[in-house]
Structure 1
């Protein structure tokens, strides 16, 4: 019997959360999100409702209030332990209280407690946060409303327990979601895309600079809500000055004016035309159980593209991790045909079978490897982000940020924004999220182009301000700048001046040996009323920097215990003071609201109800038991109704983490070859995963089955584990390319092009080298038939063109003409880069 703790109450009544309304307001590239949660107690006694839910990891929660009847109670920010004690005291005295806390392990998980809600009483909770919208590689601004909260794996031996959360399949979430968005910008809103169904976009003015959009009716809690907002001429530098809070003391962050600068560097085309041909590329792949199925398959295909696109002369290595970690080479090796083929062979064998999600140890191992002279280290991390020790990981990345750049990819619904964005931000790189039906390859290859850009060095920011005015920069120093990517700088403007002088901020840097600068003009005249949005975003920036500084002390074993504690306490005190002053959440504070009206002492203990959230991990499963984030889970799901070897699970315990406890019945195992199945695995604490458990169970089964049945079942598992060559024609073509960038004239190439070897041989110009002919055929096919996927093959096509140019072959023009004739294309020689 599966426990329904949290999903239903003791009286089998639905949980008290009835609905969530979310209103999004986007002004240029800053978003304000207002969520209203409606509670209704249908029990015959007072209840305490606890709801653990996700928010964007870089959000600044700035308002929390509760409305009970006609009374509104606005919460205050207080030190966390003080807030908890006030909440407990209020409940014990029969008062209503509301507590909102940020997880100390990860900034994208919050806990909301609604205490002492009387029988028949209703309450509405209003939660407001602000966030900067990240710019994607295609210039879209990305907003994500997290709806899915997956279990976070807590590494063995780590301090602190996992945050407790109840998760259920989307179809069993007992509350509704409504979502609307209003977008305004100085520029035209070109379009708004989403991974969810939307009602038609409505413009509010003739300039089409304001628009509204809503989720279509019937939205299910089976995914995060992602909006991609496109502006015309999005790459415009801008400066917004916001006046200080009238009631705040001058000289403090909230009392002074604050400026937010958006910097969009434009690199000279001459520099950008030649991408770097050196570097150490380290790929770190999550192979925990939760990466199974299409995730690990897509990751293998992506590594194929990456390896084929690397420049000759660079160095590389591939790490993978779960409860333990592995690496293909002891240390990074020079990129060549031999090392590329050796790596690809290992990549094809990779499965999601390494257990839990312990990313810290492989990162430490990578950072302990000495850097290769003149080969800048570029780290690519692929993970579904189900990590419990987020702050420890991002602190480690920051500590090593001077020796590398970190590019991170969040895979699937519910990936931790705090982890993915935090690693990229602290590592001076770029973050991408791959959700729903997104293909991983385009986003990864776009990021590889960023990594191959010339490294920007000696970055400095200078201010030209009127006499008497000083800028105190609140943002961490800029460590990385990429072509076309926005960098934000917050600064507190102290002092006053009677001059009406224009102000300038200049960002200077060295790009591939060329001194470069970008200058942004602005005035001290405050922008129209912005509701202290800029101040709170800047306060959030400082708070996150301080929290990272505090976490860094844990990575300093040489410090004396007393000194470490003193430093940590000092940083914590700064965080609490700024959080209280600005009204912005932190890991050391909490929002507390107490309804101090007439109350009567509560008789007996409150009925505690845990409110469930949807988890992608169990979208296809039956209701699962209440568990903590640190607990593992695994499940086995046949995906084809035509399976001739159905697998049935019964007798599931409420723990679900022990794969050996699963009982399965197998029938018709001798028809294993026709079976198609998928293993959906969540994090497990033991190495080997469910494949290992399944094989062990089959071999040790005491059922009286024929040897042929057992052998066939073993064969089926082996075939499921075995890798297969890519079926996508593009990936098939890519898999045939050599490390140098060339292709060989082989029957496999002809087959991918849809031709016979005889047809390909017949049209080859007589004077053409076979590999030159094969390479031009491949390039013409890519440009002629796969132009919509150019971002995926652009780099490897550039490498192929460089190889052709290095040969200075006289028959190139003839080969291009013949290739167009054979393939029925009209691709010009110049288009191929020749």
Structure 2
């Protein structure tokens, strides 16, 4: 057998060189392919708006995505509010600027509060120099219009009401590094209590507790002729306020930013005040302001810090100068041939007060987790103050609640020294923790063991922040079981649920008091105790001119407590003749006539009338009225007066698509601050649930965000995550280096093989 000839280096050199060159190019081609695939993956992530921590070069908020190690820059928001107060009315313009700091296309959704009596009638979407007016539509139709525009890549805005004091603003197709501005306008009346006038501008929606629900009631549905059946939810017997199975929650819970991560959503605020009478003290309760007087009756105010984070309500109060405040006001407007009037009348306090009946006072105090921080000391101080004002002939009890509830005494006891001492010790020992199961505590408070008693006036005083989502169930409980009780709500903290507080007090024939910090406890509780101790104006009736069809709200006129005015909004064919108000004032007949043709013209009275009518219709609906008929009437009124309501929304759509085909749209709920004074761990626990932001970097100073023409932000130090020290793509460089080392290693092996053969 012949052996193969030996190959010398002389004969094999050119062939091995060719093999080496081919291997070299193959290796380089493979490495290039791998780099290209990686680059495409990074490019796809960038187009989808995803970033890594090392991509971030300035302070920004990051939300988790489905891809590990990738995040979505949260849309940013800056708000500017301008409010003009003229006499008893206020007109507000709220401008919200949505900013997309990322590389992808986003839809930003923001949950925000407005006053519970706000008549929201205008929305404008501003894109560059173009202004697109929002149109009022039935809620479902507005949603369809918005979703269609969003899918087509058009910029669109949708303003919806979730509660009378909670709204959502959605803006679709905000491009990379782009901003879209939404402008909202609303009308409201100022609040009056005695000689103090006040205006509140809420800034943040507090997290709402979703109460535990018992198992849904079931009914057996039998198949005819078979004898067999299946259990089905019994919709007729569902507890009041319980959502039917399968229904989505009707209140959006936005992601909440841990205060340790910094504050977001800066707000600038300016107020122009024309009181209509010589002004005395003008004060801001919770924010520092710069005040410039503009004559004897006016003032202009702005925030001393220019912008503040949206984490607590703004409250402005003003009082008349040494002269007494006006006791009556009449304003009118003509719209589409109809006259609308707004009447405000302060009944006389009465020089001689009759002997007040002893009271049965039931105090209910919220000690759930949302009350932790500044709220709990306020509530405890308020309750201790009220206990000190009880008289020996009064009786009382205390109910505390979190996710459980507890009565201090089995039944109301005399307010003697011994029982008051026991109560004070009980209150001082309370701490805030747990959920907010308010309904069982409310039922216990309204459980009157002597419903026919006349020796005592029964009063329920409810101290809470109202951070619940089942308002409907609570309203129904009050309406069904209030009996002879009167319910007085005391809103505690920097961002109370004023809608619940106000409506609960109305349904319970009481009044609402707000305490925003410890400094207000003594004065506000003293005012409340004064109302509790003094007789109220009952059986108030309004007689409008004969022969004129008049529709006035509220109807019937509610009872009044000391310091509270009669406020009526009416529509009629012609505002002429006299309005006569009658009532029982401290046991004496009270009557006053108001000439309707003497009113001062003011714009917006018609919208205030419509808002009050809608509120009254909603109250009737909660009390067991005809749902379908009431909803149809609400829709009719809201559409006619261009108002956002539970049945209507404002929608604005740009005609030109801007998002390119194939570009993905990320939908993001915009984060909100935790209300000032709240404790994050007490609300959410040590391990945050899914709706809460998991990853966040502190935003830049709010002054930059509010005034910048583009999303320019200072670099920021992060409390929760480490910011990169350079702008390099560290993972990309490391990956490229590994590929290069691999190529070098393969080439080295090939070269050694060639030289070994040689």
Q: Does 1:374 align with 2:448?
A: no
Counterparts of 1:257-272 in structure 2, within 5 Å, are: 257-271=339-353
CA-to-partner distance for each residue in 1:614-643, whole Å, 9 max, x for gaps? Answer: 11278776xx9xxxxxx95135xxxxxxxx
Cα shift at 1:506: 2.6
SS of alignment partner, residue 406 of structure 2: strand
Counterparts of 1:700-711 in structure 2, within 5 Å, are: none
**Aligned residue number for residue 361 of structure 2:** 281
Cα shift at 1:475: 1.4
Cα shift at 1:259: 1.1
Cα shift at 1:169: 4.7
**Aligned residue number for residue 112 of structure 1:** 169
Distance 1:194 1:126 in 2: 25
Q: Which has the higher contact order (CA 8 A, sep 6+)?
A: 2
Q: Does the 8 A contact of 1:169 with 1:620 survive in 2?
A: no
**Aligned residue number for residue 99 of structure 2:** 40
Q: Does the 8 A contact of 2:268 with 2:308 survive in 1?
A: no
Q: Does the C-alpha gap of structure 1 residues 217 and 33 become closer, same or farther in structure 2, counting only changes over 3 Å?
A: same
Distance 2:307 2:641 in 1: 35
SS of alignment partner, residue 268 of structure 1: coil
**Aligned residue number for residue 410 of structure 1:** 491
**Aligned residue number for residue 758 of structure 1:** none
**Aligned residue number for residue 20 of structure 2:** none
**Aligned residue number for residue 132 of structure 1:** 189
Q: Does the 8 A contact of 1:239 with 1:520 survive in 2?
A: no
CA-to-partner distance for each residue in 1:150-190, whole Å, 9 max, x for gaps? Answer: 21001112425241202225673444321100001220122
Q: Does the C-alpha gap of structure 1 residues 33 and 396 become closer, same or farther in structure 2, counting only changes over 3 Å?
A: farther
SS of alignment partner, residue 561 of structure 2: coil
Distance 2:468 2:202 in 1: 16
**Aligned residue number for residue 521 of structure 1:** 594
Cα shift at 1:430: 2.2
Counterparts of 1:140-539 in structure 2, within 5 Å, are: 140-157=196-213, 158-159=242-243, 160-161=248-249, 162-169=251-258, 172-205=262-295, 208-217=296-305, 219-221=307-309, 222-232=311-321, 233=323, 235-246=325-336, 255-271=337-353, 274=354, 276-353=356-433, 355-369=434-448, 370-371=450-451, 372-400=453-481, 403-463=484-544, 465=545, 468-494=547-573, 503-517=577-591, 519-524=592-597, 527-528=600-601, 530-531=602-603, 533-539=604-610
Distance 1:416 1:426 in 2: 16
SS of alignment partner, residue 482 of structure 1: coil
Cα shift at 1:216: 0.9
Between stretches 108-117 and 34-43, larger displacement belongs to 34-43
Q: Does the C-alpha gap of structure 1 residues 508 and 41 become closer, same or farther in structure 2, counting only changes over 3 Å?
A: same
Cα shift at 1:197: 4.6
Between stretches 325-334 and 447-456, larger displacement belongs to 325-334
Q: Does the C-alpha gap of structure 1 residues 234 and 494 become closer, same or farther in structure 2, counting only changes over 3 Å?
A: farther
**Aligned residue number for residue 550 of structure 1:** 621
Distance 1:594 1:108 in 2: 25
**Aligned residue number for residue 102 of structure 1:** 161
Q: Does 1:7 align with 2:48?
A: no
Distance 2:304 2:406 in 1: 45
SS of alignment partner, residue 350 of structure 1: coil
Distance 1:74 1:486 in 2: 37
SS of alignment partner, residue 342 of structure 2: strand
Between stretches 469-478 and 23-32, larger displacement belongs to 469-478
SS of alignment partner, residue 529 of structure 2: helix
Equivalent residues, number: 594
Q: Does 1:573 align with 2:653?
A: no
Q: Does the 8 A contact of 2:209 with 2:435 survive in 1?
A: yes
Distance 1:292 1:120 in 2: 39
**Counterpart among 681, 684, 704 of residue 633 in structure 1:** 684
TM-score between both structures, scaled by the size of structure 1: 0.66
Distance 2:107 2:281 in 1: 43
Cα shift at 1:401: 5.6
SS of alignment partner, residue 140 of structure 2: helix
Q: Does the 8 A contact of 1:238 with 1:520 survive in 2?
A: no
Distance 1:655 1:611 in 2: 14
Cα shift at 1:348: 3.5
Distance 1:281 1:451 in 2: 10
Counterparts of 1:427-826 in structure 2, within 5 Å, are: 427-463=508-544, 465=545, 468-494=547-573, 503-517=577-591, 519-524=592-597, 527-528=600-601, 530-531=602-603, 533-553=604-624, 567-597=626-656, 602-616=661-675, 632-634=683-685, 652=687
What CA RMSD, in Å, does the superposition of the two structures yield over aligned residues? 3.0
Q: Name stretches of at least 5 consecutive residues in structure 2 with no aligned partner.
A: 1-52, 214-241, 693-758
Q: Does the 8 A contact of 2:77 with 2:97 survive in 1?
A: yes
Q: Does the 8 A contact of 2:159 with 2:170 survive in 1?
A: yes
Q: Does the 8 A contact of 2:253 with 2:691 survive in 1?
A: no
Q: Does the C-alpha gap of structure 1 residues 525 and 256 become closer, same or farther in structure 2, counting only changes over 3 Å?
A: farther
Q: Does the C-alpha gap of structure 1 residues 15 and 230 become closer, same or farther in structure 2, counting only changes over 3 Å?
A: farther
Q: Does the 8 A contact of 1:473 with 1:491 survive in 2?
A: yes
SS of alignment partner, residue 243 of structure 1: strand
Q: Does the 8 A contact of 1:277 with 1:312 survive in 2?
A: no
Q: Does the 8 A contact of 2:366 with 2:402 survive in 1?
A: yes
Q: Does the 8 A contact of 1:457 with 1:511 survive in 2?
A: yes
Q: Does the C-alpha gap of structure 1 residues 344 and 185 become closer, same or farther in structure 2, counting only changes over 3 Å?
A: closer
Q: Does the 8 A contact of 2:279 with 2:319 survive in 1?
A: yes
SS of alignment partner, residue 78 of structure 2: strand
Cα shift at 1:440: 1.9
Cα shift at 1:313: 2.1
Cα shift at 1:58: 2.1
Q: Does the C-alpha gap of structure 1 residues 618 and 185 become closer, same or farther in structure 2, counting only changes over 3 Å?
A: closer
SS of alignment partner, residue 524 of structure 1: helix
Cα shift at 1:69: 2.1
Counterparts of 1:31-70 in structure 2, within 5 Å, are: 31-70=90-129
**Aligned residue number for residue 19 of structure 1:** 78
Q: Does the 8 A contact of 1:239 with 1:259 survive in 2?
A: no
Between stretches 214-223 and 407-416, larger displacement belongs to 214-223
